[in-house]
Chain A
Amino acid sequence: MVAVGVDYLPESPHYLVTFVAPIADEDRSQSSRVQSFRSTSLAEAFAIASHADAHVYSYGKLLVVVFGEEAARQGVSAVMNDLFKHTDLRVESYVAVTLGTARKLLTTIPAEGQQVGLFMKDMLDRAKMQQDSPPTTLEIFSSRMMTPGMDASTTLLTPIGSTDPRPPEERGADGGGGDRGGTGQGTTAEDIQIVGMASWQGDRLVGTTTLSQQQYFSLAQGTSHDFLVQILLKPDPRFVPETSRIIIAIERAKPSWETQIIAGVPHFSLKVDTLVSLVNYQGRVDLTKDENSEEFMHILSESLKQGITDALLTVSSFGSDPIGLGQFVRVQYPTFWNPKMWTEVLKTATFSIEVKLGIKRIGIHITRFEPKEKMP
């Protein structure tokens, strides 16, 4: 199959597993491409599906594994065990978490009419290229899940809106997904969007961040390249006369970490060497002059610093360690290192951030269009 969704329900059998039909079923109707099964484990669901359907399910072309929010919070190691025991598993499949249920996400029918699994793969491929929210694969997820002092972070998805102009009650049977063993409710045609990052601690989801926080976090991780950051600045007629918002493109962000243990509390110092390009500079000052550009870079770097600090504190407050700070402690302070207590210790960690920013491209116009004679 191309996608697997795992949800956790309060009543037994707890798992609601959703399979999206194999690639070969491109021509099948939308409603029959998705099948859901209640079971006590993924392996059982797979066995039921193999018996219930003549199609050959295979992990060889698995594109995405989606965990519903509740399933992720319950812990996924059993699911991972069931996935990895298949030798033809495609370990470069993406792992994602969805707000709500995975079933709802997988029954989404993208506007282009593309199969939902392929649609998500395309979307996550684009994200991987742009690296504004680099998606995690099964291989990386499972390794980080096993490693103390290092955790996984995955893309947070959600179905949003609808591209069908008809009212929901008129959309009828063709708007839903397959419903074998499901709740009997059809869904409407919707779209899928990346809305942030899911932070894990071991095999459990412990928190989610916004997309903006996730982007700042990427700067700290060193995985950001060529994504757009929208920064809100204090009103300043020189640099942001029209709006307080400025958009920059991150050309390069190179983090370097230092670790210290101060009074039993880990303190992490981060220096981020960043190179950015301005996308919508509309200031009235000439950035080719050093004094102007230095002041502007200082304002931007302070803003980035604030954003990164906020993101790091948020994620560490979950007890999640996607950067692998615990590994730094293990290597540098082996006597202090305690893998069993790291989650709690991390929540007390402090950070000091320094952002060194350079502007690569200031844009074609060094100041804004303003016909001076016409100004009131």
Chain B
Amino acid sequence: MDNLWDKIIGLFGEADPANNNQQPEIRMRGYKGNLAFLRETFGNAHDFCVREFRLGGDGHKVSVVYINHLADPSRIAEEVIMPMASFINMAESPQAKSRPPLAKQLLSSSDLKEITDLKQAETLLLDGWALILIEGLNPVLAVVAHASPGRAVSTAETETTIFGPKQAFVETSAINLALLRQKIKTSKLKVEAFTMGTKTTTKVLLIYIDEIAPDNMVDEARERLSQVEVDELMDSSYLESLMGFGSLSPFPQALYTERPDRVAGNLLEGRVAILVDGSPEALVLPVGFADLFQVAGDYYGRSLSVTLVRALRVLAFFLATTLPALYAALVSFNYEILPTDLTIPVASFRTGIPFPPAIEVFLMLLIVDILQEGATRLPTKVGQTVGVVGGFVLGQAIIQAGLVSPLLLIAIAISLIGSFAMPNYRVIGLVRILRYALLLGGSVLSGVGIMAVWVAIIIHMASIEVLGVPYLRPLAPLRMASMGDFIYRRPYINKPTGSKDNEQGT
């Protein structure tokens, strides 16, 4: 940009480049051609704005092009149009000899680029920049003029905690990065930018802390990101399968979080984070099965109480997935496993039920899942009513009609509540799938079927490696050092540690 001022001044002494028949055919097409290209590219988009005025007394036209609401018109007026319009007066001012240093300050934008590629110009336009096309100046100038059409930083909605920070990410990756930098104030925090999506040209940032994140893990993440070829990237959730992490597996292999503190914590443990422009959720890798039961608030409570709560979550997971199948299996086939004193109420409750236990369970699970889906998307007040109607009235009616046994309803209720205890909504989806799979196994082959499904699940999890880190860590392979943050959360001690947890292959 050093010679920008000279270039502008040089316009007054030079012939119009557009009239230069010897102008080589380059991407730039001159003032009119560039403007025509941009108009043609954006068609009749109503937010495509062109502000034309003249610079100087000799009629050099200037067009400022921007996308309304991506760029801020008032900012453009203040930082671009007014200074350039003032320049006309400045040119005739008796203090012209002081023009250069003074004029350099006219364009008061914080960032100025000289563009020689129309494609790049198009991208910047879509990114909220304003383009300055000056008659006689072949390169197009781009100035930063972003509006802030997104949300302000607010509290996390899906990951609430009682204690600790409450901030959440927004849709703008630059702001999100800033939020992270507020937490990790070190130059070792590295940020690598990628652009993905031929149609959306979405900015993606790969973030890690140098000397903590293992090099081979970062290299693999980088390589996977660079291999992503896609038309559109609307959200960070696309990336998990685009990067090749088990698109057909029901197990989440990445952590999605809207909390900067959680991302910062994971970065300090040696993981990598990915921010996607337009998505309020960051992606954290690698993640294992054990991480699905952890929440941000676990790190703000006392060690023993957090340990208890985590243990409850794990227990809830197994109850949620296995209890309905266990009911079907034990009541149908292996009731001898039930304690004798429990067999009496089981037998009496089952009297007169028209369906076999497996069908009974399947029907109830189906009804419950449909209710849950319905209640999720309804407005809050209506959703509450649906919950009451479905849960209480329907449950009561179905028992009185003698279609299911009360014991099954208890089992389903425990299973449902167990699934709600999952801290991660994506795990609830996993629970649903496993629940049906285990029910199928238990209905067909009793406990053997349940165990066979669990063995298949464990084998599948054992075969997963995310960025070279086994999914079942720290249980398999057993890592005693990492057990301090599995179910048991070790109390904090006065000892700074680098991450040793993410050594690949261990």
- Identify the A interface with B (CB < 8 A): 22-24, 26-27, 58, 60-61, 63, 88, 90, 118, 121
* Residue ID in chain A nearest B344 by CB atoms: A23
Interface centre among A22, A27, A61, A63 (most CB of B within 10 A): A61
Contacts of A118 in B (CB 8 A): 344
Total A-B Cβ pairs within 8 A: 26
Q: Beyond the given A24-B347, A27-B351, A90-B336, could you list 4 further A-B residue pairs with CB under 8 A, ordered by the A residue number?
A: A23-B344, A24-B351, A26-B344, A61-B336
B348 adjacent to chain A (CB < 8 Å): yes
Q: Smallest Cβ distance from A350 to chain B, in angstroms?
A: 44
- Are B347's CB and A88's CB within 8 A? no
* Residue ID in chain B nearest A59 by CB atoms: B336
- Are A61's CB and B343's CB within 8 A? yes
Bound CA–CA A63/B336 (angstroms): 12
Which residues 312-371 of B sit at the A interface, judged by CB distance below 8 A? Answer: 335-336, 340, 343-344, 347-348, 350-351
- Identify the B interface with A (CB < 8 A): 335-336, 340, 343-344, 347-348, 350-351
* Residue ID in chain B nearest A60 by CB atoms: B336
* Residue ID in chain B nearest A121 by CB atoms: B340
- Are A23's CB and B336's CB within 8 A? no
Question: Can you name 26 A-B residue pairings with CB atoms under 8 Å?
Answer: A22-B347, A23-B343, A23-B344, A23-B347, A24-B347, A24-B348, A24-B350, A24-B351, A26-B344, A26-B347, A26-B348, A27-B348, A27-B351, A58-B336, A60-B335, A60-B336, A61-B335, A61-B336, A61-B340, A61-B343, A63-B340, A88-B336, A90-B336, A90-B340, A118-B344, A121-B340
Bound CA–CA A118/B347 (angstroms): 14
Bound CA–CA A8/B29 (angstroms): 114
Bound CA–CA A90/B341 (angstroms): 14
Q: Smallest Cβ distance from B351 to chain A, in angstroms?
A: 7
Main secondary structure of the interface of A (DSSP, over half): helix
Q: Smallest Cβ distance from A298 to chain B, in angstroms?
A: 46
Contacts of A63 in B (CB 8 A): 340
Contacts of B350 in A (CB 8 A): 24
Bound CA–CA A295/B63 (angstroms): 123
Q: Smallest Cβ distance from B122 to chain A, in angstroms?
A: 76
Bound CA–CA A63/B339 (angstroms): 12
Bound CA–CA A22/B340 (angstroms): 12
Bound CA–CA A26/B336 (angstroms): 18
Q: Smallest Cβ distance from B343 to chain A, in angstroms?
A: 6
* Residue ID in chain B nearest A115 by CB atoms: B344
Q: Smallest Cβ distance from B305 to chain A, in angstroms?
A: 37
Contacts of A58 in B (CB 8 A): 336
* Residue ID in chain B nearest A58 by CB atoms: B336
Contacts of B336 in A (CB 8 A): 58, 60-61, 88, 90
Interface centre among A23, A27, A88 (most CB of B within 10 A): A23
Interface centre among A22, A24, A88, A121 (most CB of B within 10 A): A24
Q: Smallest Cβ distance from A79 to chain B, in angstroms?
A: 21
Contacts of A27 in B (CB 8 A): 348, 351
Q: Smallest Cβ distance from A202 to chain B, in angstroms?
A: 29
Bound CA–CA A60/B334 (angstroms): 9
Bound CA–CA A61/B335 (angstroms): 9
Contacts of B343 in A (CB 8 A): 23, 61
Contacts of A26 in B (CB 8 A): 344, 347-348
Q: Smallest Cβ distance from B76 to chain A, in angstroms?
A: 82
Bound CA–CA A61/B350 (angstroms): 16
Bound CA–CA A187/B2 (angstroms): 116
Q: Smallest Cβ distance from B423 to chain A, in angstroms?
A: 40
* Residue ID in chain B nearest A24 by CB atoms: B347
* Residue ID in chain A nearest B336 by CB atoms: A60
Interface centre among B340, B344, B347, B348 (most CB of A within 10 A): B340
Bound CA–CA A24/B351 (angstroms): 8
Contacts of A60 in B (CB 8 A): 335-336
* Residue ID in chain A nearest B335 by CB atoms: A60
Q: Smallest Cβ distance from B340 to chain A, in angstroms?
A: 6
Q: Smallest Cβ distance from B373 to chain A, in angstroms?
A: 37
Bound CA–CA A23/B350 (angstroms): 12
Bound CA–CA A60/B348 (angstroms): 17
Contacts of B340 in A (CB 8 A): 61, 63, 90, 121
Contacts of A22 in B (CB 8 A): 347
Q: Smallest Cβ distance from A38 to chain B, in angstroms?
A: 29
Q: Smallest Cβ distance from A65 to chain B, in angstroms?
A: 15
Contacts of B347 in A (CB 8 A): 22-24, 26
Bound CA–CA A88/B351 (angstroms): 22
Bound CA–CA A27/B344 (angstroms): 11
* Residue ID in chain B nearest A88 by CB atoms: B336
Contacts of B335 in A (CB 8 A): 60-61
* Residue ID in chain A nearest B340 by CB atoms: A61
Bound CA–CA A22/B343 (angstroms): 10
Contacts of B348 in A (CB 8 A): 24, 26-27
Bound CA–CA A26/B348 (angstroms): 8
* Residue ID in chain B nearest A63 by CB atoms: B340
Bound CA–CA A67/B350 (angstroms): 32
* Residue ID in chain A nearest B351 by CB atoms: A24
Q: Smallest Cβ distance from B453 to chain A, in angstroms?
A: 24
Bound CA–CA A289/B266 (angstroms): 75
Q: Smallest Cβ distance from A118 to chain B, in angstroms?
A: 8
Contacts of B344 in A (CB 8 A): 23, 26, 118
* Residue ID in chain B nearest A92 by CB atoms: B340
* Residue ID in chain B nearest A26 by CB atoms: B348
Bound CA–CA A78/B184 (angstroms): 80
* Residue ID in chain B nearest A89 by CB atoms: B336
Bound CA–CA A121/B348 (angstroms): 19
Q: Smallest Cβ distance from B448 to chain A, in angstroms?
A: 15
Contacts of A121 in B (CB 8 A): 340
Bound CA–CA A4/B336 (angstroms): 17
Bound CA–CA A129/B340 (angstroms): 17
Bound CA–CA A137/B454 (angstroms): 36
Bound CA–CA A61/B346 (angstroms): 13
Q: Smallest Cβ distance from A161 to chain B, in angstroms?
A: 27
